[in-house]
A and B are shown apart, each in its own frame.
Chain A
Amino acid sequence: MTSELGHLALALAMLCGICLAIFPSLGVWRRDARLMSMASPAAYWQLLLVLLAFICLVESFISHDFSNQLVANHSNRDLPFWYRVAASWGSHEGSMLLWILMLAAWTAALAALSGNLPQAMRARVLAVLGAVSIGFYLFALITSNPFDRVVPAPINGRDLNPLLQDPGMVFHPPLLYMGYVGFAVAFAFAIAGLIEGRFDSAWARWVRPWTNVAWAFLSLGICLGSFWAYYELGWGGWWFWDPVENASFMPWLTGTALIHSLAVTEKRGNFRSWTVLLAIMSFSLSLLGTFLVRSGVLTSVHAFATDPTRGVFILIFLCVVIGGSLSLYAARAHKVHASQAYSAMSRESMLLANNIVMVVAMLAVLLGTLYPLILDSLDMGKISVGPPYFDAVFLPLMLPALFLMAVGPLARWRDAPVLPLVQRMRWAFAASLVIGLLLPLTADSSYKPMTALGLVMALWVAGGVGLATLENMKSPSGGIDVSRLALQPGSWWGMQLAHLGVAAFVLGVTLVNSFEIEIEKKLSPGDVLTIDDRLSLRYAETSSRQGPNYEAIQVRFELLRDNQVIGELRPEKRRYKASSMVMTEAGIRRSLLGDLYISLGEAVDGGWVTRVQKKPAVNWIWMGVLMMGLGGFWAAADARYRKKRVPSSNTTAMDVSSRSGEVSG
């Protein structure tokens, strides 16, 4: 019954989605307030019904209903409770339902929190979201129904892929999807703005908090995914430039450009075309990511060709979304354009550079991700584009962005003469240059220019944040008054935190790339392995243990510093019973200074081939991204977005910008 109820709820939810797309639009057209006000109840009912469908699916997994095809394929009687819950979105169909749930949640949240929007704008935005959701309902119901039955029902399920049996699976996909789907809101605002021909600073003020929140979720989702891959895959890497990762990274890049571009649109009324196009791009790339990950093309374009319905559906959907929104943009471009003059050295020009860098970076990732697929589908041979390409492209692209990241927030809008800027920043510049260049000399290894470069950039970005904080503490009389910081709005604090996060990220990447140690060796009980001049590792004992649905061999290593035991690590080799798949579970000792990471290879006559890695400062990478994400939430919580405004205000960019000198984007 549960599956049928879920199926019915999903079908009814689609009806709500259709109502949401049609009636408010009709209302705007006929200036009928009653029709427009149908948007909210439709959005709430939609969420309720999708939630019901989703609960039905989760319940099927929890109660081991193997008559449901998905449960039979992705669960097992021995699977622990939380992994059964997570298994609901561990498959293609389930993850589509999660996507739909997220979209319904964002739509309902918008309906609930958009009281300060003019009625017509609100109706349009919600209608666009409704239209987008119809596409997904059709996709789920026609090509990927999560409620399909299997007759006769098997006695036990095939099990969730052991790689996915991890707490990461519980949190990573929902966070990531919150981000992906969140860009649908920015997209809906862009489309509504195009239809209405309205892109003033009030419009930007409506969009900004939503976009910031979406971006923050996406950052956290990517961060968690990277953290998970690091400890789960047993390689000790934190980013692989794998197409699946790239799929989430591309919307993040354009989303980053979008939140900065929106700042300009709000404060100065400029960059409207950029903002609209970036909103369209971010959402389209979210769709493309779904297509890449979910259609099977990554596994094999030929697999895609044998069952093309899903892929073709998403491709058509993608074409409709991109083609439709770009045609709308082309038709309305004359209404979008409005420009305030700004000079070549100004906060605007630096943010423009940021937009360009982010888009070029996205295009480079897109090229590296799609080219092998295109070549393969044309039968022109199989190739792969590895990490060296992405590294080679990314580093030089990010250097100017990092440099400007420190300068931009200190530069004035419209015109920021170079000389005063240089004067304000000379100490921060000198300090980061000297410390960054000299610090690597204290390391034991030979001097690496890349290490120095990374340190200089991290210090420079952090220095910019420090300088901005310091300058905002200066009272008019010239003294330092910490309480003046309280005058700064949430968006300023969010930006500061996020930029500091970038500094932490760059520092982490630099240190781990420069000073990591990797040793592969066969170790037998009693062996002592020297890691560096102080640390060593002793193979203490081998034992076996039973997990809930796996059996494991565990090796206990003692970590010694100056021959004193300071801790132990317990890497495991697991064999999952249902799939008889073997998995390596790394043993990790974490600290802020760095991790020690052990994974087991093969058992060879009495010992284990072992990979031991020392990863200095690796946790700074995720801490940095975490700070970026939190910064996004903080900025979105800025009080000025919550102010009630007169709906039909003529607020233009000008009267905001006149007092925006000290307020930051």
Chain B
Amino acid sequence: MSPRQKRLLMVAALITALVVATALVLNAFRSNLVFFFTPTQVANGEAPQGKSFRIGGLVVPGSLQRETDGLKMQFAVTDQAKTVQVHFQGILPDLFKEGAGVVAQGMMQADGRFLAKEVLAKHDENYMPPEAAEALKKAGHPVGTPEQFQKAPTKP
């Protein structure tokens, strides 16, 4: 091969690699986006079936019920307008509290329950998960001041 051909070959290899990488990245990106829905949107049927998404809002006080094994549980999440029943199996984060903000990620079941795979409430007690705050605001019940939202600890 002449140096010119070699160079051409290298450029071609480079471009192929970049195209493959881009395709890979964009494909992974598209199939792994997790969208957020408020309880009102879920109640209106806007949330997708058979695809994982996040909901957020306040945990309805007194709604947490555990089964005897201590692992399976359900609680209600509300944006003060509509309420969604969330089922979860596992250990709740330390900051999970009734009446406090929460975000759960999971899937809608055929019977209208939301089965959470993950429950997020991992910041300090003043902190409202931004999605939960957003859900309340959209439903017309904003909680707390913007300053409060900034109180999230600086995770190092």
Residue contact A360 to B21, C-beta cutoff 8 Å: yes
Closest partner residue, chain A, to B1 (CB atom): A344
Nearest Cβ in chain A — how far from B118, in angstroms? 9
Query: Please, which residues of chain A bring their CB within 8 A of the CB of B105?
Result: 386
Closest partner residue, chain B, to A300 (CB atom): B130
Contact with B along A308-323 (1 / 0, CB 8 A): 0000000000000000
Residue contact A581 to B125, C-beta cutoff 8 Å: yes
Residue contact A302 to B146, C-beta cutoff 8 Å: yes
Query: Binding site of B, secondary structure by majority: helix, strand, loop or mixed?
Result: mixed
Residue contact A385 to B29, C-beta cutoff 8 Å: yes
Which of A172, A349, A382, A388 has the largest number of chain B CB atoms within 10 A? A382
Residue contact A360 to B18, C-beta cutoff 8 Å: yes
Contact check: which of A176, A233, A306 meets B122 at CB < 8 Å?
A233
In the bound assembly, the distance between CA atoms of A386 and B3 in angstroms comes to 45
Residue contact A307 to B150, C-beta cutoff 8 Å: yes
Residue contact B124 to A228, C-beta cutoff 8 Å: no
Nearest Cβ in chain A — how far from B25, in angstroms? 5
Residue contact B21 to A397, C-beta cutoff 8 Å: yes
Number of chain A interface residues as a range: 35 or more
Which of A294, A388, A580 has the largest number of chain B CB atoms within 10 A? A388
Contact with A along B96-137 (1 / 0, CB 8 A): 000000000100000000000000001011010011011000
In the bound assembly, the distance between CA atoms of A609 and B105 in angstroms comes to 21
Query: Please, which residues of chain B bring their CB within 8 A of the CB of A161?
Result: 124, 153
Contact check: which of B29, B71, B150, B156 meets A296 at CB < 8 Å?
B150
Residue contact A604 to B25, C-beta cutoff 8 Å: no
In the bound assembly, the distance between CA atoms of A397 and B24 in angstroms comes to 9
In the bound assembly, the distance between CA atoms of A383 and B130 in angstroms comes to 11
Query: Please, which residues of chain B bring their CB within 8 A of the CB of A521?
Result: 69, 71
Contact check: which of B10, B69, B124 meets A581 at CB < 8 Å?
B124
Assess whether A639 is interfacial by the CB under 8 Å rule.
no
Residue contact B130 to A522, C-beta cutoff 8 Å: no
Assess whether A392 is interfacial by the CB under 8 Å rule.
yes
Residue contact B17 to A356, C-beta cutoff 8 Å: yes
Query: Please, which residues of chain B bring their CB within 8 A of the CB of A269?
Result: none
Query: Please, which residues of chain B bring their CB within 8 A of the CB of A384?
Result: 33-34, 36, 54
Assess whether A489 is interfacial by the CB under 8 Å rule.
no
Assess A522 versus B71: contact at CB under 8 Å? Given A383-B36, A388-B32, A581-B124.
Answer: yes
CB interface residues, B 57-94, toward A, < 8 Å: 66, 69-71, 90-92, 94
Query: Please, which residues of chain A bring their CB within 8 A of the CB of B13?
Result: 344
Query: Please, which residues of chain B bring their CB within 8 A of the CB of A601?
Result: 70, 91-92
Query: Please, which residues of chain A bring their CB within 8 A of the CB of B133?
Result: 300
Residue contact A344 to B92, C-beta cutoff 8 Å: no
Query: Please, which residues of chain B bring their CB within 8 A of the CB of A95?
Result: 154
Contact check: which of B28, B71, B122 meets A520 at CB < 8 Å?
B71
CB interface residues, A 168-184, toward B, < 8 Å: 168-169, 172-173, 176
CB interface residues, A 554-610, toward B, < 8 Å: 579-584, 599, 601-602, 604, 607, 609
Known contacts A300-B130, A306-B147, A393-B25; 14 further A-B pairs (Cβ under 8 A): A161-B153, A299-B127, A344-B6, A356-B17, A360-B18, A388-B32, A392-B32, A521-B71, A579-B124, A601-B70, A601-B92, A602-B92, A609-B70, A609-B91
10 closest A-B pairs (Cβ-Cβ)? A601-B91, A389-B32, A382-B36, A392-B28, A522-B70, A604-B70, A300-B130, A161-B153, A306-B146, A299-B152
